[in-house]
Amino acid sequence: MSEHIDVFLGDWHRMVAEKDTQAIDALLADDVDIGAPPYLEKIEGRALVGHLLGLILHTIEDFTYHRRWRDGGEIALEFTGRVGELSLQGIDLITLNDRGEVQHIDVLMRPINAIEALRDTIRPQMLAYLQGGG
Amino acid sequence: MSEHIDVFLGDWHRMVAEKDTQAIDALLADDVDIGAPPYLEKIEGRALVGHLLGLILHTIEDFTYHRRWRDGGEIALEFTGRVGELSLQGIDLITLNDRGEVQHIDVLMRPINAIEALRDTIRPQMLAYLQGGG
């Protein structure tokens, strides 16, 4: 498991830095779920979660990871960035399954105005994606 | 340092469970700062931060800690709770100084509606506290 996590963290940081969303998709479990910043309900499934992660990565500018914690397959990754003029701090809480894939990911952020700006930018794009048949 | 962290975590969990805000104040550095969920700007100083933490603890019901991570003096503590009917997930990112006191604490939460409810409950109480001369 420990090697899985080392490999995962190296891959994940590279993919996020390069916004390589296709490669990120390959790191997600089929039945991955995400707890996005604006909503309590989880969004499930690799296609939807991958698409949402891609939109988040393309919306947050100057995305930079800082502190990171790990405890078995449970990982916490702090990041900063901005949406337009609004700076933000966030954290990814990631659970890996025993194949080293992302099983759960929760994204928490502050402050409110940056979360609202992220939501308002991404919501119409997610709706268009869903209406396009996924 | 490691013993400091063990002692801190034991004390912190007990104090939070018992909402023992006086004891929490004693764990804060004089010049502690907090990044609260609604705002980007930090709030500084033991009296203000202690008061705000007390208001947060008294506003979030069913406050329960879950996963926790540590890396030297850097600690991440996941929690859940609710504000009225609104469920929330949050994380405390805590930096201890070399005396085992809280030097920095950031509180990140999701979803937006719970952060707004928390802000709307606490803001008038903080204003009243500030207008009362602290």
Distance from CA of A73 to the nearest CA of B (A): 12
In A, minimum Cα distance to B117 occurs at: A112
Which residues of chain A have a CB within 8 Å of the CB of B78? 93
DSSP string, A63-127: EEEEEEEEETTEEEEEEEEEETTEEEEEEEEEEE-TTS-EEEEEEEEE-HHHHHHHHHHHHHHHH
Which residues of chain B have a CB within 8 Å of the CB of A88? 40
pLDDT of residue B133: 63
pLDDT of residue A93: 98
pLDDT level of residue A52 (50, 70, 90 thresholds): very high
Distance from CA of A14 to the nearest CA of B (A): 22
* pLDDT of residue A44 exceeding 80: yes
Which residues fall within 8 angstroms of residue A41, CB to CB, at 6 or more apart?
A: none
Contact B40 A108 (CB under 8 A): no
User: From CA B81, how far away is CA B117, in angstroms rounded?
Assistant: 13
* pLDDT of residue A92 exceeding 70: yes
A4 or B52, higher pLDDT: B52
- Give me the percent of chain B exceeding a pLDDT of 70: 98
pLDDT of residue B12: 94
pLDDT (average), residues B8-22: 92
* pLDDT of residue A1 exceeding 80: no
In A, minimum Cα distance to B88 occurs at: A40
CA A53 from centroid of its chain's CA atoms: 5
Return residues 63-102 of B near A (CB < 8 Å).
67-71, 74, 76, 78, 86-91, 93
Helix (H) or strand (E) holding B30: strand B28-35
User: From CA A122, how far away is CA A130, in angstroms rounded?
Assistant: 12
B56 or B132, higher pLDDT: B56
pLDDT of residue A133: 63
Which residues of chain A have a CB within 8 Å of the CB of B89? 35, 40, 106, 108
Distance from CA of B30 to the nearest CA of A (A): 24
Contact B38 A111 (CB under 8 A): yes
pLDDT (average), residues A108-132: 96
pLDDT of residue B101: 95
Mean pLDDT for chain A overall: 94
Give the residue among A69, A123, A111 at the shortest CA–CA distance from B76.
Answer: A69
Q: Of A3-17, A45-59, B26-40, B104-118, give the lowest mean pLDDT range.
A: A3-17
pLDDT level of residue A100 (50, 70, 90 thresholds): very high
**DSSP for residue B94:** E
pLDDT (average), residues B70-81: 96
Helix (H, G, I), strand (E, B) or coil at B118: helix
Long-range contacts from B116-120, C-beta under 8 angstroms, 24+ separation: B116/A112, B116/B38, B117/B83, B117/B84, B117/B86, B118/B37, B118/B38, B118/B56, B118/B59, B118/B60, B118/B83, B118/B88, B119/A112, B119/B37, B119/B38
pLDDT of residue A4: 82
C-alpha angle with apex B26: B20 to B30, nearest 5 degrees? Answer: 135
Contact B74 A69 (CB under 8 A): yes
pLDDT (average), residues A95-109: 96
* pLDDT of residue B6 exceeding 90: no
In B, minimum Cα distance to A39 occurs at: B111
Long-range contacts from B83-86, C-beta under 8 angstroms, 24+ separation: B83/B59, B83/B114, B83/B117, B83/B118, B83/B121, B84/B117, B86/A40, B86/B111, B86/B113, B86/B114, B86/B117
Give the residue among A51, A110, A68 at the shortest CA–CA distance from B114.
Answer: A110
pLDDT digits (tens, 9 = 90+) for A6-39: 889 999 999 999 999 999 999 999 999 999 999 9
ipTM metric: 0.94
Cα dihedral sign, B14-B72-B111-B24: positive
